[in-house]
Structure 1
Amino acid sequence: MESSKINHHFKQLTTIYETLINEIDVGVHVINDSGKTIIYNNKMSEIESLTKEDVINKDFLDIFRFEDGQKSTLLEALYHNKEIKNVKQTYFTKKGKAITTINNTFPIYENEKVIGAIEIAKDVTKIENLLKNNMNLKSNTRYTFDSLIGESDAIKEVIEIAKRATRTPSSVLIIGETGTGKELFAQSIHNGSEHSSGPFISQNCAAMPETLIESILFGTKKGAFTGATERIGLFEQAEGGTLLLDEINSLSPMLQAKLLRAIQEKSIRRIGDTVDRKVNVRIISTINEDPVEAIANNRLRKDLYYRLSVVSLFIPSLKERKGDIHLLINHFIQKYNQMFQMDVKGVNENVMKIFEEYEWPGNVRELEHVIEGAMNLVVDEPIIEVSHLPFNFRNKSTLASHQEFPIVSVHDMKTVNKPESIRHLKDYLLNAEEYYIKKVLEKNNYHKTRTAQELGLSRQTLQYRINRLNINS
């Protein structure tokens, strides 16, 4: 009886252990004294894109490869009784996938004898790739003030203020909704200023983990933490040029304070360093909300706002400058004519009415995407029609959704489908389908591609239905 209780207790502990080991959000890898894997949890499997069957009871070095000069922390713990903490390691799986982890590794003892080793790993592969990509940033500024499209008073006023801002190195804060073209203004200011010969470096502050953004901005000194290398930050990369900080309100208050100091002192200090380095960089920043609201909600420090907004540009939304829509349409049509080798001339009156009625929550960027999407549906037609507009846009636009299909009256359906006697529903629906497809074909002069687009079908599916229903076209 006592033995049965012990066995039951042991099974419970085993279940608890297995649940714990597989649910924790770090990788766990254990090898025995022969170097074979005996424990490999779900997180480790996710990190390395290997199944447990790929690894369990397999020799460690048959599954993982290390570059020349690199040693496995797990094998170091096993064969040299080393306890290794917070060490960054890059290695390759047998499938060729490169993995970078921060490891804590320990030998496992039994009666003072090493019987295995355990590694607890945190995946930093994506973060490492982000850092490498940021180090490879190049100046890529193709926009100038000639690139800014618009004749409305709202946009012309902002362009004029932006041109004046090119005369000095003062900080500029660009305020506007997503999709209004804030980076176009930033690049135009850079290219029109004395900093134009220097680099233009852009960083979306919301796109990076908070734990990394400081090292990306200011750089790191070798040895600052385990695995840290000598790496310059964006301030130093932008030396003599312009640093664009997009969505500045996404930075933490602590980092905003460090940024404020760097701008005021015109110097930065790499993480882990004791030396201040002078920098000559013009700061342009953007924010996609009202700065006053951001300050009130503690998303933007008031002192940083004053430092960044020496010049403030308020970019109008597209709904505030609808008079520019026709210019923007022509610009985007020409852009994609060249890209797609097409010759579209414009949009028809109904499309223009839809565009003028629509509120454009995505602003100019959304308009460009709609034009690009429509031109992907144009075949031989010289004009973009309602049927060419992307389906999701037509659903959002009240006017477009009303024009999506030809109106088929209840009277017409009753006339054509008036049954002399009750029929099976299947037969009735086939009759209705045939009638409706014929109506849409007639509306489009039997142009099958346009008809398919309007019905929300592929051309192949429409042809199948035409054949199945014996519709003469």
Structure 2
Amino acid sequence: MNKKLLEEVQLKNRIYQKILDEIDVGVHVINSDGKTMIYNKKMRTIEGMNIEDVLDKNLLDVFSFHKNEDSTLLQSLHKGIRINNAKQTYFNNKRQEITTINNTFPIDEDGTRVGAVEIARDVTKLEKIIRENILNKGDTKYTFDSIIGLSEEIREVVEASKRATRTSSSVLIIGETGTGKELFAQSIHNGSNRSAMPFISQNCAALPDSLIEGLLFGTKKGAFTGSVERPGLFEQAHGGTLLLDEINSLNPALQAKLLRAIQEKTVRRVGDTKDRSIDVRIIATINEDPIDAISEGRLRKDLYYRLGVVSLFIPPLRDRRIDIRSLVQFFIDKYNHLFGMNVSEIDEDILEMFMQYDWPGNVRELEHIIEGAMNLMDQEDTLQYSHLPIQYRNKRQFKNEATSKANDLLIQKGKDIKPLEQYMEEAETYYLKKVLQHHDYNITKSAKALGMSRQNLQYRLKKYEISKS
């Protein structure tokens, strides 16, 4: 082969490689021995692999299947068959599950089988979500008894929610992130005459538009490359409740289709011409003021009016601070059970901090603080400042509250100066109490930390009348 011809062949190979890496489908080619010859960029992304992990390696040395014959590539290679729109689930070398829709065909040259080609589309994420939704049908654990709080603000919402269980009207639940919107949605479902039917929840912000439409409305086989006959969430929730979380994240075109489905009580699968009747109660949630979402184009006005037949406003935690104490105790009890611990109380100083904090993450943030703190505890039975996750101990607001007691001992302008002996006694009493709490009232550990003998510490405790109670 002359130099010019060689350069042309090399150029063509580079062009072919560039094309393979730019196309939005996975391409995997094996030779007659089952070893990988071509493995493009998209396929590497789908399977989470590096090219050196796969190229020139035997297929079965890299990937595992439930049965070797489940590999569509090997079926095509060994049987000489073309396989179209076949769903395949298998595992990469890290044991991560992958699901693809494949078109696979053998490569023959002069009557001899030289390899096989697979063109794949990734449906791993979609398959996982659909499987979880199907498994979770009717798996609603929350009722109105699960809602913690005696504040007037939360009880008003609970009463309004209970009234909403009597009908099948759409419900729009409005509240900041972490306020417990799904808890209310499940409680409404479980309190209604639909409680024995499916409850299916979908976060609309979790998927791109290209997946969410097929997930909601279903797909018809052959509607697009790799599509299979599959009912959507509306059909799966027939007779029950469909919760659409963060409805304001859907694009306007999908919101229009959703509005049509709610109004006409029918859905049309993607690629189909047939309308299917549905009997589904829609509960939607939004994490911002719907008027702001409408004015800024994130929520269609007509959809808002349709969904907001019943509108529930879940108050943020900062507006129901009276409930913090009971919520804290509930979460302590919850994680005592999960962790096998025996925490009985929380330091009053921490509760004071909690009452002053703004709680941007609401009840969910409070739960995470308690869970994180209990992970840092040993055998103590009182949750204290030192147990709080470091990111909270570093917050200026918490630091200020933590030192407020000590600051009370300082000289303040305009106030009488305490006698030195009284000041020293108060300061020593406060410090001894904190050290004892930190060491769960263990005298030996506290004395060691203070640099004194047990006898000396016990003398001071008796002197200042300090006890665990």
Q: What is the deviation of 1:167? A: 2.0
Question: What is the rounded CA distance, in whole Å, between the counterparts of 2:272 and 2:441 in structure 1?
Answer: 65
Equivalent position amino acid for 1:29 in 2: H
Alignment of 1:156 with 2:155, yes or no, is: yes
In the alignment, is the contact (CA less than 8 A) between 1:245 and 1:286 conserved in 2? yes
Question: What is the rounded CA distance, in whole Å, between the counterparts of 1:24 and 1:219 in structure 2?
Answer: 26
Question: What is the rounded CA distance, in whole Å, between the counterparts of 1:145 and 1:405 in structure 2?
Answer: 38
Alignment of 1:234 with 2:233, yes or no, is: yes
Alignment of 1:72 with 2:63, yes or no, is: no
Q: For 1:319-375, what per-residue CA distance to the aligned partner results, in whole angstroms no more than 9, with x for missing partners?
A: 111122112112222222333343333222210121111111110111111112222
Number of residues of Structure 1 aligned to a counterpart in Structure 2 = 424
Which residue of structure 2 aligns with residue 201 of structure 1? Answer: 200
Question: What is the rounded CA distance, in whole Å, between the counterparts of 2:345 and 2:96 in structure 1?
Answer: 48
Equivalent position amino acid for 1:352 in 2: L
Question: What is the rounded CA distance, in whole Å, between the counterparts of 1:447 and 1:377 in structure 2?
Answer: 12
Equivalent position amino acid for 1:329 in 2: V
Equivalent position amino acid for 1:261 in 2: R
Q: Which runs of 5+ in 2 are unaligned?
A: 407-430, 455-469
Which residue of structure 2 aligns with residue 330 of structure 1? Answer: 329
Q: Which runs of 5+ in 1 are unaligned?
A: 408-439, 452-458, 460-465
In the alignment, is the contact (CA less than 8 A) between 1:22 and 1:42 conserved in 2? yes
Matched-pair identity in %? 58
Question: What is the rounded CA distance, in whole Å, between the counterparts of 1:346 and 1:72 in structure 2?
Answer: 59
Which residue of structure 2 aligns with residue 192 of structure 1? Answer: 191
Question: What is the rounded CA distance, in whole Å, between the counterparts of 1:176 and 1:358 in structure 2?
Answer: 19
Compare 327-336 and 65-74 and name the one that shifted more: 65-74
Q: What is the deviation of 1:5? A: 8.1
Which residue of structure 2 aligns with residue 262 of structure 1? Answer: 261
In the alignment, is the contact (CA less than 8 A) between 2:374 and 2:387 conserved in 1? yes
Equivalent position amino acid for 2:336 in 1: N
Pairwise mapping of residues 94-109 of structure 1 onto structure 2 (< 5 A)?
A: 99-103=98-102
Q: For 1:193-213, what per-residue CA distance to the aligned partner results, in whole angstroms no more than 9, with x for missing partners?
A: 222232222111112332222
Which residue of structure 2 aligns with residue 318 of structure 1? Answer: 317
Question: What is the rounded CA distance, in whole Å, between the counterparts of 1:378 and 1:62 in structure 2?
Answer: 46
Tell me the TM-score normalised to structure 2 length.
Answer: 0.75
Alignment of 1:393 with 2:384, yes or no, is: no
Question: What is the rounded CA distance, in whole Å, between the counterparts of 2:231 and 2:3 in structure 1?
Answer: 64
Compare 258-267 and 6-15 and name the one that shifted more: 6-15
1:363 to 1:49, Cα distance in 2 relative to 1, 3 A: closer
Question: What is the rounded CA distance, in whole Å, between the counterparts of 1:186 and 1:179 in structure 2?
Answer: 14
1:401 to 1:47, Cα distance in 2 relative to 1, 3 A: farther
SS of aligned partner of 1:167: coil
1:75 to 1:234, Cα distance in 2 relative to 1, 3 A: closer
Equivalent position amino acid for 2:72 in 1: S
SS of aligned partner of 2:153: helix
Which residue of structure 2 aligns with residue 132 of structure 1? Answer: 131
Question: What is the rounded CA distance, in whole Å, between the counterparts of 2:384 and 2:292 in structure 1?
Answer: 41
1:69 to 1:226, Cα distance in 2 relative to 1, 3 A: farther
In the alignment, is the contact (CA less than 8 A) between 2:154 and 2:315 conserved in 1? yes
Query: Aligned to 1:444, which of 435, 452, 455?
Result: 435
In the alignment, is the contact (CA less than 8 A) between 1:85 and 1:103 conserved in 2? yes
Compare 118-127 and 204-213 and name the one that shifted more: 118-127
1:339 to 1:189, Cα distance in 2 relative to 1, 3 A: same
Equivalent position amino acid for 2:393 in 1: R
Q: For 1:127-173, what per-residue CA distance to the aligned partner results, in whole angstroms no more than 9, with x for missing partners?
A: 32333222322212222222222222222222222222122211110
Equivalent position amino acid for 2:291 in 1: V
Which residue of structure 2 aligns with residue 304 of structure 1? Answer: 303
Question: What is the rounded CA distance, in whole Å, between the counterparts of 2:274 and 2:55 in structure 1?
Answer: 49
Alignment of 1:370 with 2:365, yes or no, is: no
1:326 to 1:447, Cα distance in 2 relative to 1, 3 A: closer
Equivalent position amino acid for 1:444 in 2: V
SS of aligned partner of 1:39: strand
Question: What is the rounded CA distance, in whole Å, between the counterparts of 2:271 and 2:404 in structure 1?
Answer: 65
Equivalent position amino acid for 1:176 in 2: G
Pairwise mapping of residues 26-37 of structure 1 onto structure 2 (< 5 A)?
A: 26-32=25-31, 36-37=35-36
Q: What is the deviation of 1:9? A: 8.0
Alignment of 1:218 with 2:209, yes or no, is: no
Equivalent position amino acid for 1:200 in 2: F
Question: What is the rounded CA distance, in whole Å, between the counterparts of 1:285 and 1:472 in structure 2?
Answer: 63
Q: What is the deviation of 1:228? A: 3.7
Which residue of structure 2 aligns with residue 415 of structure 1? Answer: none
Pairwise mapping of residues 56-67 of structure 1 onto structure 2 (< 5 A)?
A: 56-58=55-57
1:236 to 1:358, Cα distance in 2 relative to 1, 3 A: same
Q: What is the deviation of 1:117? A: 5.5
Compare 244-253 and 328-337 and name the one that shifted more: 328-337
Compare 364-373 and 60-69 and name the one that shifted more: 60-69
Which residue of structure 1 aligns with residue 283 of structure 2? Answer: 284
Question: What is the rounded CA distance, in whole Å, between the counterparts of 1:158 and 1:7 in structure 2?
Answer: 77
Alignment of 1:183 with 2:171, yes or no, is: no
Q: For 1:272-326, what per-residue CA distance to the aligned partner results, in whole angstroms no more than 9, with x for missing partners?
A: 3333222221111100011111112221111111100001111111111112211
Tell me the TM-score normalised to structure 1 length.
Answer: 0.74
Q: What is the deviation of 1:396? A: 2.8
